[in-house]
């Protein structure tokens, strides 16, 4: 099988080995959110452009990497282009940036998944300007690992355990 590949207008950061693909319009905060995730312990995968490849030997998982021309570079408003450590990673979550007013409080289950290069992935909508944006990304990525997005049911824990 020939891998499906796409070059997306997206930034990408790996948290605990799982890539978070950050998509949004120009100026929506992709690089700023990437920087906050890196500051929270993440590793840069790519900024502004991300190559995603399916069928690349990662147990059928989509892999994110940087185009060679911009690998290891992150645009930081007020500083310019900075060099950082970077690494490819399997995609664990898609984050689509939008203003808070455009985001449903209780999204439909179908809105929590998105197909990319033939692979269905967990997806959230997020306003990158919100103070809790990085916490929401980390929570969603953890829930993705627990099957929250594919179970069709919210995970609820009781005070008893």
Q: What residues does each domain of the chain span?
A: 5-151
Do 4 and 77 touch, CB atoms closer than 8 A? no
Do 108 and 68 touch, CB atoms closer than 8 A? no
- Per DSSP, helices labelled H in the chain are 30-39, 133-145, 148-151
Architecture category of domain 5-151 in CATH? 3-Layer(aba) Sandwich (3.40)
pTM above 0.95, yes or no: no
Say how far apart CA 76 and CA 116 lie, in whole Å. Answer: 28
Mean pLDDT score of the chain: 89
Tell me: pLDDT of 57 over 60: no
pLDDT tens column, 59-98: 778 999 999 999 999 999 999 999 999 999 999 999 999 9
């Amino acid at each position: 099988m020939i891998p499906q590949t796409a070059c997306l207008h997206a930034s990408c950061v790996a948290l605990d080995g799982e890539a978070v693909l950050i998509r949004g319009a120009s100026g929506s905060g992709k690089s700023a959110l990437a920087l906050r995730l890196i500051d929270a312990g993440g590793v840069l995968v790519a900024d502004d452009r991300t190559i995603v490849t399916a069928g690349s030997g990662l147990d059928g998982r989509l892999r994110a990497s940087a185009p060679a021309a911009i690998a290891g570079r992150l645009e930081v408003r007020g500083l310019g282009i900075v060099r950082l450590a970077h690494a490819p990673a399997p995609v664990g979550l898609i984050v689509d940036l939008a203003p808070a007013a455009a985001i449903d409080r209780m999204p439909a289950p179908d809105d929590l998944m998105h197909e990319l290069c033939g692979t269905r992935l967990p997806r959230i909508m997020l306003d990158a300007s919100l103070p809790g944006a990085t916490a929401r990304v980390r929570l969603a990525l953890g829930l993705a690992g627990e099957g929250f997005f594919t179970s069709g049911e919210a995970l609820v824990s009781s005070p008893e355990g």
